[in-house]
Every structure is written in structure tokens, then in C-alpha cells.
Structure 1
Amino acid sequence: MYKAWCIYILTYISLFLWSTAAAQQTESPTIKGKLDNGLTYYVRHNPYPSGEAVYRLFLKTGSLAEQEAQRGLAHFLEHMAFNGTHHFPGDSLVRFLEQQGAKFGKDLNAHTSYNETVYKLQLPSKDSSLVNKTLTILADWIGGLQLDSTAIEKERGIIYSEWLSRKTGGQGAEEAFLNALFNGSHYADRKVIGDTAVILHAPAGQIRTYYQDWYSPSLTAVAIVGDIDEDQVVKLIKDKFGALPGNNKQPREWPIPNYTKSSFHQVIDDGESKAELHVIRLLDLPQPVRNQKEHLHYLESDLLKLLIRKRFRDLAFKNPAYTKGSLQSSGFLNTKQIVLASVGINPDKPDSSIIEFATNLAQLVQYGFDSNEIASIKKSYEAALQRKASSNRPTPSAILMDDIYNDYYKGQPAISAQQEYDWYVDNTTQIDSTSLLRHLQHWYYPDNAYYLLTGYPQIASILPSETQVMSWFQQAHDKVQPRYHKPMDMVTALLENAPAPATIVAQGQRHSIDAEEIGLSNGVRVIFRKPVVERDRISVTGFRKGGLYSLDSTDYISGLYTSQIVALSGAGTLDRESLNHYLSGSSASVRFLIDKTRSGIAGSADPRDIETLLQLIYLKWTAPRVDSTTFGQVKEKAIDTYRHTNQTPASIFGRDLGYIVNGRDYTSQEITDQVLAKELRQDRLLPIFDRAFGPASGYTFIVVADPKDEELKEMILSYLGALPGGTSDTAYRYVRPPVAAGTTFLKYDGDTPKATVWLTYQSNSIPMDYQDYQLRTDIATAVLRTQFLKELREEMGKVYSVGVTGSSTLLPGPLARTSIQFSCKPEDAELLVQTIHNRIQQLIDHPESMAATLEDVKNNLRKEMDLQKQKDSFWSSYIRNAIFNGDESLLFVADYEDKLREISPSLIAGFIDLQLGTIQPVKAILYPAGFDKTTPPKKDNKKNNKTK
């Protein structure tokens, strides 16, 4: 949990410079302007995806601007923005947007942070009147919120439920990590979620005061990117936002100080699953990049991150005492630069784990990187920049919006891919081992750092003390370490000889998907589909039925690890390092996968590297390796991970619920250290790989590329056609146990104050075409979620969110499953379960009650399908899954609109009855420890709940 939180902090809260993936030129530059009242606007026409626009309202205010009596009200106000505005009173705003095909949470959303609040919309743009109304909504958010007292009272319970839903095991470590980053600053007193007492009791006037003070045009930017008329949008912005009254109030700057000395803190928490040590340094944030000179520092930093990541990846193969080590640098809240060194502690070797990690860090900062490491990273980096600069792939509007975010909040202007490549060429000669070492030494130093040690009670007694930890890092830093050296074999070619090509034995057109199909003499078939947008990228994917469920039960555990270990072992005569070095700078990459019900590959490359990709597929397919050292390390790590992962109440609950829902057999068993020791066998990996791949007959490959590319076809014949012929036994051996129903599973040992509720409905019948069934599942679950949110959240105020998911599979036998999940106050759990049952029955008995919701869901699906059809990855996935599930006609997408039109409220009501109404669910509830299970549930009083 803590590790996930670290990743969240270091990724969500932002890298400190621009996203180079977004730095691509499109048809027109961004128009940027400022109105007299101080509002900034950005407008950019971008044709991809066609018929869509992305909107943002950026505010330079957040929880830091709150007074003591307003703690949590910046976030509260964000909620209220969806509860009534001048032009869209009450819930009509959300209703209007949902009628346009928007899905709450995906197409309309918002977030509040410490120093920013962002509102997000993503809507169709072909109708100019919708663009007009959408801009009206954005303007209302700045100057026209109703902030009705009744609506405010109603929202209190929802926000409290959000606070409750975020309570997790390991909360103490999360809080400690944040407090370390805040370093005694004002940030620590202004957590975004706020104070529950304020949330529940603050006068409505405090919310209105915050709104009047901080929702000002001078602190706001409105941004629109998409398939729009730029001139029309600029005019609308001036008309709608220009008259908004502003104030000159500016939020106070709240700095986070750097550490002036080292400190140590230990957190022992039942909710922690692992033991870790984090060494945190706070540095000043680098300046934005606006010219070539400033780019030099950024480039050096970017290369350094890649070098460090690769070094620790290589060290992981030397079987270190620690479980995982890393050193990374990131921006934080657009305020600080964080340098974070993290090590996973092996409880069998707690001291050695930290000592070895400290030694690795000291070795890094004493010597840096050798010329081979630097040359390899530079080669890959330059190749990626060059591909980006020459690419004609369109950039999605949502990615371009990231550039605008960086410009407004960070002062970082967008840099074109060509400009970045040119700067790289000019600056790279100035970056060498000496400059990189100097940069690294600025980042990491054992002094002036915050040492945070986390663990769980069972191992608290073996964790080292503050004195030990601090002395180990200082001693490692003071001692002269040996240089790091990694020998590498140089490779000049993947294959010594070209394989003999196949012949085409069948050929035809797939008109329903605008594709061409050929059958090869080795039993392989290849479907070529012309790309929609990625004309300078070729993808090759393939599959065949079989997978883990076709294995004997004694091979199942080995099968879980086969793809990973074979991939890490290299191929043919090449070990992993030699193969990676040969591919450095190439765009070719491929993964071999063994899933439960199928095996397959997924690869891609730029056209100039397509032969390398096909050679790589052929080599890995026909000459797999299993390196003994690699196998031993993977197995040992897997055993150690199990043995040293604390089983929290939540993880045990999830495991036991899985046994009830899935049955308990060799496919669902807990993979313990004893299971791994006995059943993960090196001698079985290559036979399993050969069973999944080996003879290629029966494989279907989908190649997204121009079907008329004769040179590509010749290479396909030479490499995919040269894969071994013959058949493999891929019949399913696994027989699914009978589905569970009607079971109640209650536990009373949760380590948070909330109750977590799961309702799972299962059936082993799929009584119609699979894709039609899945479409109805998607529609029914969307309708159910909307209905549950309306009652449990909006009317009762007792949950923050409700998850409703549906899935189905035909193989190895039919299985359909619908799950409903939410968290709430423990005393409300049974009441809400009953409310869900009642709402399900109401929808079944009165289909007309879902008519409006159903139309919104269908509109959203139409919008999503229009967007998906503009993605090459969608077509590749659709073709694979359709054929896998027995649809050789491939007509589903072509008939999609007709299928949607056929969906009626009564049809969905009947489907819900089939899936939920006639099935007793597995009901599982994890209550907090100490909850009095004898307390009767509160009676539902909707009248009081609505005005609470």
C-alpha cells in the first residue's frame, strides 16, 4: 500500500518539466491570450480524435488558500460545482452532459490539490451549439455557482463517505511520507480532504466566502483543444468570460524548505505489507526550459534518470540482499524537486539489505557511469527523439492539453519534437561521465536527508535502529567503493541465416473490417488491416487457444512464470544483456504471453525496424532459452516475496473471498513459498513454452500495416511463414468448479473504520452470441451503477462511489459474473445491501424507470465507439477477441449502431433479471475490528437523508 502511494505521489503530482511525448506538431499552434479581467485562455484546433474536444478550467487555488475554519472546503466547493449553476440549476448540469454522451468520472471530472483546482470535460464537438453550452458551463463554474444551502447540506455526507473510502491499512506510513515531503510547511496543515468536523459542520457561508475570494478570472485559465473552429471558440470565450468580475487577490506563496539536517522516523503499522526504507532529499525545483541552454540541464537530468533506472535493473540480476532498490527524481506539487532512494528490506537479511543498498548508492556517486552505459542510453534516447520528430502520427487532444497545463502552472512552454531533437544534437556532446556524475552528486547525498523506515509489527524487533541506519549510509559514503563493471558481448546480427519462407495457400478479403487475409503453408493465417492513424508504426499481434488452462495441473505454477523467465534469459545464443544491447536504439519490441485461455505475442516497430521485429519474433519463438541463474533468482525472489509480505486483514479477506467465488483448486490456490519451492520447476519451462508456441499451426496474426506493402508481405512469409509447422495439443484440461451462489461471508477484523462490501452474482450460462451478451452486460452494468449512485450517493448520502463490473468468458466453459462493490459506515452496510436489492427489483419490475439512464448510456457508447474506431490498437484487439470467441464474420462493429437501437428498457430489465434477479449473490462484508455486529441496522429515512 505504501509503495503504491509513493508511486502515486511521484507520478500524479507531476514531473517538473514538459512531457516530451506530447511535444509533437499538429495542424495549428495554440492560441494564447488574456482578457482584461485577468483570465488566460488557450485554444487549439487538433483534428485527432475527429469530432471531439477536450476542455479544462485551471485555477491557481486549492487547499493552501483555506483559512483554519475552511479546511477541506476547497475540495467541497469542487463537489458543489456539479450541483447547480446559474444556467444549469440543480442536477441539470450533470443530466445535460450525460445526455450528450458524457460519462461521469471519465468525460466530466475534477480534482483539487494543494495549489490547483482543475475541472475536466471531454465532449463531442461537431455540434457548435454544444461547444457554446459547454463554455457556458465553464464560465458558470467561475462566476455562477448556486451554492444552495440545501445542496450543501446534502453533499456533506457524500464528502464524508469519500474521506471514509480513502481510509486504508497503512495510513500511518502514508501520512508519515507526506509529512516528510512537507517538512513542517503550511502544506502539512492543509491536507486536501480537510477536517471532517469542518466538512460536516462548516457554515455554508464559509464555502461561499472561499468561492468569492479564490474563483477569480485572474487566477483562472480556460483551455480547449480539439476538432473545433478556433475563431468561433475565441469569440465565445471573450463573450462568456470577459464580463466576469474579478479581484486582484493572489494566493500566498507557501514554500517547502529543504532539509538542513538528517532525521529519522520509523512507522510500524498493521496495514503495511512490506518493510521499506526511504531516503528523501528535497531540492529546489529546476527552472522551466525555454531555450537550448536551459535544455542542457533538463537533458542531463533525463539521461541520468534512465541511467540510474538501468543500473538498478542490472543490479537486480546480481541477487542483492534487498528485495528491490531504486533512486529517482521527480517534481512535487510544482514546488519542490524530490530525490527518493528506496529499498525493500528482506526480513531474513534486514541489516544486509540496507548495507548493500547504501553501498550501491555510494558506488554510484563515487564513479557514476562508464562510457558503455552512457553510449547505450544516448543511442536509445536519440533514436526515440528522431522517431518522434519524423513521425506523422497525430497527437490526441488530451495529450496536447498536458502541454497547456505545463505552460499555465509551471511556465513551461511546449517544445516541438523537432526542436527538442535539434537541441539534443547540439547539447549531447556537452554531456559526459563527468557532468553526469556532478549532476548525480547534487541529487544524492546521505546528509540533509529524511530517513523513513516502515514495517509491520511481526518484524519490528529485527529492524535496525536510527543509529545503525545513519551510520551504514555514512560509512558506505566515506569508504572507497570498487568500480561497477559489467562485461558485454557485442552482437552484429540476430540470425546467422535467413529461414526458408512459406508459400501462400489461401487469400481473401475481409470486407467487414477492410482487411486482407492470407493463409500460409505452415498453418498460420495473417490478417492485414490498413492503419487508421499510425502509418509510421507497424504492429504484429497473434494468438492461439490454449494457455494455462491447457496445461496439466502439475505444470500450472511453472506456466505462470514461463513467459517471464524465458524473456529474461535472452534467445538463441544471446543472453539477455547481449540481446538488449543489440536492440538499443531500435523501435522493435515484442512480448510473448501465456494467458489462462490463450497464448500469443504482441510486438511493434517503426517501418525501418520491421525486419528486426520479425527476426526477433522468429528467434524468440524457435530458440527460447532458460538461463539457470535467472531461473534461480526469479524463484528465490518469488519465494521471498511471499514469505516477507505481511498478510493484512484486507488481503486475507480478498483471498478468502476469491476461494468462495472461484472455488479452491490448483488455479486459485494461494501461491505460497512451499508451492513455489515444489511446483516451479526449471525443467518444465521450455516444454511449456514449446506447447504454447512451438508448432505454429492454428495461430492467427493481425498485422496493422498497408496490405499493399509487398516488401512487408515478403518479410512476413520469410519469418512468420518460417515458424515451425505442425500442431500442438492445446485442448483445455481445466474444468471450472460449479459456481457459488447464496453464500454470506462476513469478517470483523478490518484495520480501517469503514466496511467494504462485495456482492457477486455468477452464472455458467451465456445464452446468446458472445459479443451481444457482452454489449448487454456493459449497458446493464452502466445503468445499474448510475441508478445506485443516484440513490445511495445523491439521495441517501451514504457512499462516495459504487463499482459495478460485469465480465464473461466462453472458455474453458461459460461463466458470467457481475460484481457490485462499495465502502460505507459499518452500521449502514446491511441497509445499503438491501437498498441495492430493492433497486434491482424495481428496475426489473418497472423498466420505464431506467429509460432516461439507458439513453444516456447508449449515447456514451456511441461516442466511445466513434473514438475507438480511430485507434489502430482497437482494431487489432477487436479482431483478435472476436475470432477467439468464435465470430469469424467480424460484423459486430459494422452492425454496432443497429444493435444499440435494438436495446430497449424492457430488454435490459430482462437481462438484469437473468443476471441478478434470479441469482442469489455471494455477499461478503469486511467490517472493522471491534464493530458490534449485534447492533441492528438503521432504518432508511429517505426524507431525512435528502435534507441531511
Structure 2
Amino acid sequence: MKKITTLVAGLALGLLSNHATFAQEDLSKMLLPMDSRVKTGVLPNGLKYYIMKNAEPKNRAQLRLAVKAGSVLENDEQQGLAHFMEHMNFNGTKNFPKNELVNFLQKSGVRFGADLNAYTSFDETVYMLPVPTDSIEVFKKGMQILEDWAHNATLDPSEIDKERGVVLEESRTGKGAQARMRDKYFPVILNNSQYAKRLPIGKDDILKNFKYDVLKQFHQDFYRPDLEAVAVVGDIDVDMVEKMIIEKFSGIKNPANEKERTKYNIPLTGGTDVAIVTDPEQPNTIIQILNKQPKRKDVTYQDRREGMVRSLFNQMLSSRIQELTQKADPPFQFGYAGYGGFLGNLDAFTSFVVAKGGNVEKGLKAILEETERAKKFGFNASELARAKTQYMVGQERAYKEKDKTDSEQMAEGLVGAFTEDENLTSPDFSYDFTKKYLEGVKLEEVNALSSTLITADNRAVILMAPEKDKATLPTEAQIREWLNTAGKNVTAYVDQTVDKPLIAKLPTGSKVTATKQIPEVGITELTFANGVKAVLKPTDFKNDEILIGAYSMGGTNLYADKDADNARLASTIASIGGLGEFSSINLRKMMTGKVARVMPYITGTSENFNGSTSPKDLETSLQLVYSYFTQPRFDGEVIKGFLANQRDALANQQKTLTPEKVYNDSLSVILSNYAPRNLPMTVERMEKIDAQRAFDIYKERYADASDFTFVLVGNFKNEEIKPLLEKYLGGLPSTKRKETFKDLGIRTPKGKIEKTLYKGTEPKARVTMVWSGDYEVTPENETQVEALSEVLEIKLIEKLREEESGVYGVGVSGSTTKIPAKRYNFRIAFQCAPENVEKLVSRTLAEIQKVKDAGAEATDIEKFKAETKRQTETQLRDNGFWLGYLQGQYQDGEDVKEVLKEDEMLKKVTVESTKAAAKKYFAENMIKVIMLPEKK
């Protein structure tokens, strides 16, 4: 439940505030206004509050408690205790002793971890609680929980001791190559500041041994109202909530002798610092350059305008760097450059490269040359025009969705307003601001930013590489030389575009020949003369969103083993080439300002599409679909570069087998019974890829649309979009071939299989247990599988985490498939200390046996039902849920009205039904794969 501030973060421009009239004044003296929909206040004790009515989703509210206290405030004895304190607020408060808080919320339909959560960062701790508002009792309890979090933690010694193991296990999950290297370079890039010494997870020896009073002192010092804020966003009565906040939080007193809340800074030293770090488990070579600068705030109109200019700069530079990866010989596997937030009092212009073939010089010089090109020659007017268009589209979308934005997003914005001491502006304000000031941004102004953002001052360079490459890595002196000399011979960027329509001759299409209504779920089926079917579900969940999905039975299983890899890469090779006369680069430029994304993909049993669009760009999306069928583009140069990067990435993985890769690959091949087609990809196999054959397979798969079913969900009216569908979907090629999927007979092996692997140096164990078998497909069985999975997860978190203190988390997943075969699969996975594996596996099996013998506990079934009902309430108003559900039901040949029978299905989940399900599904077929550290 910790969250460490991301070092390379995007600059946050506020997306939400009230409508304003812009006066001709000094923008630096005009303050950005708080969204007028937000009611704000400060109690006499200093606690701030933010309240906002927002109806999406209905009958829900997002509650937040933000505390301006994080790990940076810890003294030497308290390292890790800001985060530990966060844990303890879930383990006993005045009104919710021990684990009663989590227990109560689960019974109210709030899931622990997924819904109920918190994080600790360097500078703040934030608690997140979503609650239903159609139950005033539950909502009031939610507000009481917020108050308890603010000051009422009991910090019972026995609970503290139990939680030590949980937090140590969370610490264990973060150990590995990245953490070991970070510990070496953090002091360098953070200039030995307090931030370098206070990672939120802390130190294991302190977590094991700290005295109770040390934690209590941190709580007393910093959990106080003048450092706290409450945010409530949702389907609420604002005045009622304000009264509740005043009543519950006004009585909290600040300590008599307040400890100063020190504001730590990261000093700027002026020069260039270089850190070269290696690790045996680091698989690739990464170089990062940070040009650190004082943090830029978003407080005045001038701040916002300057932020807008930086956003345009980032967008244009990012587009150029993306083009570099689409060459025949890309200079790096991945590259990034842009300005954004960093940490503490600093921002940074960050350049980042994953070197190809470990060639640091080539990768570093390529990214430096691109930034130097921007400094020397600037951007072109055509690039700025596209960036402005794209920026405006983003503001327009936020404006259009202002009454359909999820409360969670609003609550996060208000927490940010509190922690950054800024206002959260409204979509109306941002939209009007952009309309007024965007056009006035001149090319000279954007180009001048390069010299401001990309400097040689306050620069930090981090080189991370595999230990085996240590002898061949560049020296610090070489890196400094490249920094100073790269880019001297760069030439100006040439902005190449194609000024043609995507489709030279539009299709005539075909008419709808059959229509079927299913009013119970609000869908209409259309069948066109070419055989294509469209399933339409108009919704009002979002104002500016239509989601598109499609499938056709077939897939890569239809191809022999010799073509398996070609088939697997077919859709990727086709999609990276662009469409028609448009290369992928020119296609992206042509799509500027359009909200339309469509991508083909092929699975083992089907060929598919996935996409999203705004209603105004639906025709463009349909043109993309039509083009992927009729004019896919083979771009040999781009494909050559893509395959080269893939081979390089695989070579790195094969040379440095990380514990994660060894474990995941081993688990995958064991579960597929070592089927050749399911073995991990290798360099040798990648070298045998026949790009032309892969492209031909793609064309074969998409040669016939007659068996495709398209699903459209979102803001449209059937009759209004019907002509477009007839034109483009009705115009797709149709040969009326009869085709279905192929079952290759790949199954998880039967019987009991145990495998122990040894990899890695950290004292960390991974455990996965899998049960599988044949399955009878019925709605009742599907619900029983879901119930059994959830009640087991609830129980194992209770036993392995809360009682044994042996894990940070336990994942239990139950899944079923109908295609290519009717199968079920239960998976239980966790990480722990190597010495605890046997004990925790035994405890897991014992809990499963209890359910097999006596069924799940009634209280756990109650929690499952409450969580499921609450989840369904929000899912039924979510476009993404309906797209996945409808596509799945049609593809599996199941009744689309099943979703309406949930209450009926849930009634069938009982103590006895879980007992029967456990006996059926946790039978003799069990696979157990364990990874332990390498033997010394």
C-alpha cells in the first residue's frame, strides 16, 4: 500500500474550475480559480476540506484523507514508520478495533486493496475509501473511518508486532536489481538530500525492532489537523457532508508543542553528476539524463499558459523521438525526452534510453542529437499546428465529459490541489483558457524553451547495466565527453506529410438485411448483405466515447507449427507499416486532432479488432477498420527495425535471466505441458521470422469479413450511425468462407506436479499453485467459480497475512473458458520468505480443505455477495464492461441476458454450494511451482 513518487512524471495541468471572464491584465497576477463546484473550507484547527457533488457513478462517493506527512519527515529511528503508520490505520482505531474496519467495509461491498487502500510517499500519506451513498448508515460509518484515520489509531502493541511481518513482506516484494541499483544512484541524483535517505519502505532492521513509542511519536507529531485535508466527491448532499465534517473533525486538537513540519529541499549543485551502476540481474542497459530545475507551480494564469507551452514542446519532441524507433536500424530500443515533475522542490527535463545491443554511445548520442536538433533549429510551424490541434482536442474532451467524469478522478485532483497548494480548475475554465490563449502561442516562444529546459547545469546521469558488461561500459569521462560533443553536426528536421485521403475510393457498402432487437439489455443486432454482423448498444455513460470490438473465429491455431511464430506476429507486422499510402509516421500525423484508435489483433482462436473513438470521429474509425481489411501496408524498413529491436531485447533476456523471467517462463511451459508453440520466444526463432509470410497470414485472416461480428457501445443513435455502418462494415470484403477455430489439444497436465526453481540472490520466494480440469459451462457454475475464488482470497488474506504475518498479499483467481475447450483454472499465488514457504503452503491447503469439508463461512459469502452486487451496479454503467461482456457472450454463443440474472445466481451461492464447488474444482490435478534463491 505504498506509493513512491515517480521520478519521470508528466506535468500536471489542472483539468477542472469555474467559468471565468478573461481580462486584459498581467497574467502573473491573476490567480487560477478553484472549480466553483467544489465547496472548500478550513476548520479553526487548520484542517481543510473539499466537497463536490458528482453523479458518476451514481450512489457512490470517494472519500479521501490526505496528510502532509511522509517518509521525508522521519528521524533516524523512524525510517519506514510513516508507511508503517499507514498500515496501522487499518489495524485498529477507536471506533473500529483490530480488523473490524476492513471487516465492516467488506460486508458493505468495499473490497480491500482494490477499493479500500492507501499510499505513503516522501511528502504525504493518502487514504482512499469508496463508499455507497444509498445507505446513509454505511456513508456515516465511512466518515467515521476518515475521522479515525485522522487521529484515532489505537496502535495496540500486539497489532504492531503482527504488522511487522506484513510490512517486511511488502519490503521483500520490492527487493531486486532495481532496488539495489537505486540505492547506489539515489544519493547522486538527489544530492545526498533527505529524500535520498528516506525511501518510504524504510529499513528492515528498523521495521523489525522499533519500539512502540517511536511509532506513536510519529503519529502524535504529524497526524494532526493543520497537516490534514478531507475530500469528499460523489453522489452526495454537499451541505449535509459539510455539517458532518465540521461535527466530526472540529474537535481534533493540534498537539500542545507542535513539531515543525520541515520542508526539505533537494539542493542544486550546478554541475554534472554521473552514477554508473551494475547488477547481475539487470537485463538491459539504460541511460537517463536529468536536467534538474526549480519546481514550476500552477497557481497563476501565467503559470498555466507557460505549462501549456511546455506541453506543446513535449508533444512535438516526443513525436520526433517516436519516429527514430521506426527506422530500419533504430538507434535504441526505446527512448523518451520531456519536461515534467521530479521530486520535492524540483522538476526535470528527462532523457531516457534503453540502449540497443548495450551500445551506450549510440543510444545516448541519438537522444542527445534529437534534443540538440530542437535547440539548434527549433520546431516547424506544421509541427506546432498539429500539437495545438491535439492539445485542444484533449481540452475539448475533458469539457464534453465534465458531467460524466468519475468521482475517483475528481478526488485525486483535489488531493493534488491540497498537497501542491494549488487550485483545481474546472473543465469550463480550462477549455475557455485554452481557446483564448492557445492560438497566441508563437513558434519562436516554443523554440526558445529548448535553451531553458535543456541545460548543462544541475545535470545528473545514471547508467544502469548488467554486471557482465561492466568491463565494456564507458567511463564517466567518456560519458561527459559525449554529453558535451553530441549533436554538433545535426541538421534541421524535415516534416514530411501525405496530403491525400486515407481511402482513395470510398466503398459503396451494402444494406442491412436483418434486424433483431434484444430490449432487455438494450441492444440491436444488424446483419449486412455481405454477412457482417453489428451489435449496437447505445449508452449515455460517456458523452464523447464509442468503444469498438470485433471478432471472427479462426486465429493462429489454424497454422502449422512451422508458421506459428509468423502467425503470432502477423497483426503486429501489418499494423506497424501504416495503411494504404500512409506510413505509420504519416498516418499518425494525418490522424492529428481525431479521436479514433483502431487496432487489429489475432489470438489462437480468432482475429479481432479493438478500438475507441469520439462520436464525431466514428467515420474515421470505420475508415481505419475498412483500411485494415483492404489496404494493409508492408513497410520493409519499419519491420526490419522492429525485428532487430525484438532480437536485441530477447538477446538481453537470454544473457541475463532474471528471477522474474525464469519463474514466469517456467510456470508458463509447465502449465501448457511443454507444448512447442507455447515455449518462450528466443533469438534463434526470431531470426527465422519471415516477415512477408507473416504479412500474408494477416491478409489471409482478414480477407473475409463475412463471419465478423462488430460490437459498438457508447454515445450514438442507431439510426444516425446506420448509414455509416452500411457504407464501411457493409462494404468489407466477403467471400462467405466457412471457418471456425481449431483446438490444438494443449492442456494443463493432469495429476500432481511439483517443481522447485532456484534463481536470484534476494531472500525471496515465489509460490504458485494451480488446479485445473474439464468444466461444464453454465451460468450457475460460473457464479460458483467466482464465489469460490473470492471467499478463498478473503480467507487466505485473513490467515496468511493477518494471522501468520507471512505475506503482503495473496492472489486467488478462478477462471473458465469455453474456447477452444471447456476448462476451469484456479490459481493461488504469493511471495514470502523462503523459510516460510512450507508453512504457508500447508496453511493454504488446510484452508482449502476446510471449505471442502464444511463449505465457506457464511460471513465470507456475505462479503462476496455484497462486493459483487456493488461492483455490478457500477459495471452496468460502464462502456468498457458492456463491450467486453457482449463480445464474450457472442463469441462463446451464450445468452446476452445472463447479466440480468445475477441476483438469481447469487442466491444459489451458499455454504453447501461452496463446499460442493471446492470438492469439484480442488481435486487431484494440482501443480505447485516454487522459486527459491540460488543455493550458496
Query: Could you tell me whether the CA contact under 8 Å between 2:615 and 2:715 is conserved in 1?
Result: no
Cα deviation 1:634-679 (Å, max 9, x = unaligned): 111111211133222331232122211112234212211111111x
Establish whether residue 702 from structure 1 lines up as the match of residue 716 from structure 2: no
How far did residue 294 of structure 1 move?
2.2
Look up the SS of the partner of 2:276 in the other structure: strand
Of 354, 372, 381, the match for 2:382: 372
How far did residue 15 of structure 1 move?
4.3
With over 3 angstroms needed to count, the CA separation of the structure-2 counterparts of 1:581 and 1:62, relative to structure 1, is: closer
Cα deviation 1:330-356 (Å, max 9, x = unaligned): 213453212221122223644333333
Cα deviation 1:531-550 (Å, max 9, x = unaligned): 13224433332111222223
| Range 744-753 or range 279-288, more displaced | 744-753
Cα deviation 1:589-633 (Å, max 9, x = unaligned): 211121232222123332322222222221222111111112211
Cα deviation 1:294-315 (Å, max 9, x = unaligned): 2211101111111111110011
Look up the SS of the partner of 1:123 in the other structure: strand
Partner in structure 2 of residue 939 of structure 1: none
* Matched AA of 2:929: A
Look up the SS of the partner of 2:463 in the other structure: strand
Query: Could you tell me whether the CA contact under 8 Å between 2:35 and 2:426 is conserved in 1?
Result: no
Of 758, 763, 770, the match for 1:753: 763
Q: Structure 2: which 5+ runs fail to align?
A: 21-33
* Matched AA of 1:912: A
With over 3 angstroms needed to count, the CA separation of the structure-2 counterparts of 1:530 and 1:650, relative to structure 1, is: closer
Establish whether residue 17 from structure 1 lines up as the match of residue 23 from structure 2: no
Task: Tell me, in whole angstroms, the C-alpha distance in 2 between the residues paired with 1:169 and 1:562.
Answer: 34
Look up the SS of the partner of 1:640 in the other structure: helix
* Matched AA of 1:84: G
Look up the SS of the partner of 1:566 in the other structure: helix
Q: How does 1:24-103 map to 2 (within 5 A)?
A: 29-103=37-111
With over 3 angstroms needed to count, the CA separation of the structure-2 counterparts of 1:338 and 1:572, relative to structure 1, is: same
* Matched AA of 2:178: G
With over 3 angstroms needed to count, the CA separation of the structure-2 counterparts of 1:353 and 1:209, relative to structure 1, is: closer
How far did residue 172 of structure 1 move?
1.9
Partner in structure 2 of residue 637 of structure 1: 645
Partner in structure 2 of residue 661 of structure 1: 671
Look up the SS of the partner of 1:891 in the other structure: helix
* Matched AA of 1:485: V
Look up the SS of the partner of 1:188 in the other structure: helix
Look up the SS of the partner of 1:924 in the other structure: strand
Task: Tell me, in whole angstroms, the C-alpha distance in 1 between the residues paired with 2:62 and 2:832.
Answer: 33
Look up the SS of the partner of 2:900 in the other structure: coil
Query: Could you tell me whether the CA contact under 8 Å between 2:546 and 2:716 is conserved in 1?
Result: no
How far did residue 24 of structure 1 move?
11
Establish whether residue 861 from structure 1 lines up as the match of residue 868 from structure 2: yes
| Range 523-532 or range 726-735, more displaced | 726-735
Task: Tell me, in whole angstroms, the C-alpha distance in 2 between the residues paired with 1:728 and 1:365.
Answer: 57
Partner in structure 2 of residue 717 of structure 1: 726
Note the aligned Cα RMSD (angstroms): 2.3
Establish whether residue 808 from structure 1 lines up as the match of residue 816 from structure 2: yes
* Matched AA of 2:72: L
Task: Tell me, in whole angstroms, the C-alpha distance in 1 between the residues paired with 2:732 and 2:576.
Answer: 22
With over 3 angstroms needed to count, the CA separation of the structure-2 counterparts of 1:8 and 1:597, relative to structure 1, is: farther
Partner in structure 1 of residue 266 of structure 2: 256
Cα deviation 1:221-250 (Å, max 9, x = unaligned): 011100111111111111111111123544
Partner in structure 1 of residue 627 of structure 2: 619
Establish whether residue 682 from structure 1 lines up as the match of residue 691 from structure 2: yes
With over 3 angstroms needed to count, the CA separation of the structure-2 counterparts of 1:257 and 1:328, relative to structure 1, is: same
Of 177, 193, 213, the match for 1:169: 177
Of 923, 927, 930, the match for 2:932: 927
Task: Tell me, in whole angstroms, the C-alpha distance in 1 between the residues paired with 2:707 and 2:7.
Answer: 44
Task: Tell me, in whole angstroms, the C-alpha distance in 2 between the residues paired with 1:781 and 1:24.
Answer: 48
* Matched AA of 1:924: V
Query: Could you tell me whether the CA contact under 8 Å between 1:363 and 1:482 is conserved in 2?
Result: yes
* Matched AA of 2:347: Q
How far did residue 29 of structure 1 move?
0.3
* Matched AA of 1:860: E
Establish whether residue 141 from structure 1 lines up as the match of residue 149 from structure 2: yes
* Matched AA of 1:425: K
Establish whether residue 877 from structure 1 lines up as the match of residue 879 from structure 2: no
* Matched AA of 1:261: G
Query: Could you tell me whether the CA contact under 8 Å between 1:328 and 1:339 is conserved in 2?
Result: yes
Establish whether residue 582 from structure 1 lines up as the match of residue 577 from structure 2: no
| Range 419-428 or range 186-195, more displaced | 419-428
Partner in structure 1 of residue 31 of structure 2: none
Partner in structure 2 of residue 526 of structure 1: 534
Of 912, 922, 946, the match for 2:918: 912
Task: Tell me, in whole angstroms, the C-alpha distance in 1 between the residues paired with 2:478 and 2:518.
Answer: 68
Task: Tell me, in whole angstroms, the C-alpha distance in 2 between the residues paired with 1:24 and 1:590.
Answer: 35
Q: How does 1:890-909 map to 2 (within 5 A)?
A: 890-909=896-915
With over 3 angstroms needed to count, the CA separation of the structure-2 counterparts of 1:38 and 1:27, relative to structure 1, is: closer
Of 435, 451, 469, the match for 1:459: 469
Task: Tell me, in whole angstroms, the C-alpha distance in 1 between the residues paired with 2:718 and 2:331.
Answer: 52
Task: Tell me, in whole angstroms, the C-alpha distance in 2 between the residues paired with 1:356 and 1:710.
Answer: 52
Cα deviation 1:464-523 (Å, max 9, x = unaligned): 11111110121125x2422222422222x2223331221222112112311111211111
Query: Could you tell me whether the CA contact under 8 Å between 1:762 and 1:919 is conserved in 2?
Result: no
Task: Tell me, in whole angstroms, the C-alpha distance in 2 between the residues paired with 1:675 and 1:238.
Answer: 66
Cα deviation 1:156-192 (Å, max 9, x = unaligned): 1221222122212332223234334422101122221
Partner in structure 2 of residue 942 of structure 1: none
Cα deviation 1:551-591 (Å, max 9, x = unaligned): 33222212222222222212223322332222211122211
Q: How does 1:159-558 map to 2 (within 5 A)?
A: 159-247=167-255, 248-291=258-301, 293-318=302-327, 319-347=329-357, 349-391=359-401, 394-476=404-486, 479-491=488-500, 493-558=501-566
| Range 480-489 or range 825-834, more displaced | 480-489
Query: Could you tell me whether the CA contact under 8 Å between 1:22 and 1:402 is conserved in 2?
Result: no
* Matched AA of 2:931: L
Q: TM-score, normalised by structure 1?
A: 0.93
Task: Tell me, in whole angstroms, the C-alpha distance in 2 between the residues paired with 1:219 and 1:708.
Answer: 50
Task: Tell me, in whole angstroms, the C-alpha distance in 1 between the residues paired with 2:330 and 2:696.
Answer: 30
Q: Structure 1: which 5+ runs fail to align?
A: 932-948
Q: How does 1:790-869 map to 2 (within 5 A)?
A: 790-847=798-855, 850-869=857-876
Look up the SS of the partner of 2:752 in the other structure: coil
Query: Could you tell me whether the CA contact under 8 Å between 1:169 and 1:752 is conserved in 2?
Result: no
How far did residue 734 of structure 1 move?
4.8
Query: Could you tell me whether the CA contact under 8 Å between 1:57 and 1:220 is conserved in 2?
Result: yes
Query: Could you tell me whether the CA contact under 8 Å between 1:350 and 1:462 is conserved in 2?
Result: no
Query: Could you tell me whether the CA contact under 8 Å between 2:579 and 2:631 is conserved in 1?
Result: yes
Task: Tell me, in whole angstroms, the C-alpha distance in 2 between the residues paired with 1:327 and 1:302.
Answer: 12
With over 3 angstroms needed to count, the CA separation of the structure-2 counterparts of 1:814 and 1:49, relative to structure 1, is: same
Query: Could you tell me whether the CA contact under 8 Å between 2:351 and 2:367 is conserved in 1?
Result: no
Look up the SS of the partner of 2:61 in the other structure: strand
| Range 772-781 or range 714-723, more displaced | 772-781
Task: Tell me, in whole angstroms, the C-alpha distance in 1 between the residues paired with 2:382 and 2:294.
Answer: 31
Look up the SS of the partner of 1:138 in the other structure: helix
**Percent of counterpart pairs with the same letter?**
26
How far did residue 220 of structure 1 move?
0.6
Partner in structure 2 of residue 605 of structure 1: 613
* Matched AA of 1:561: L
Look up the SS of the partner of 1:340 in the other structure: strand
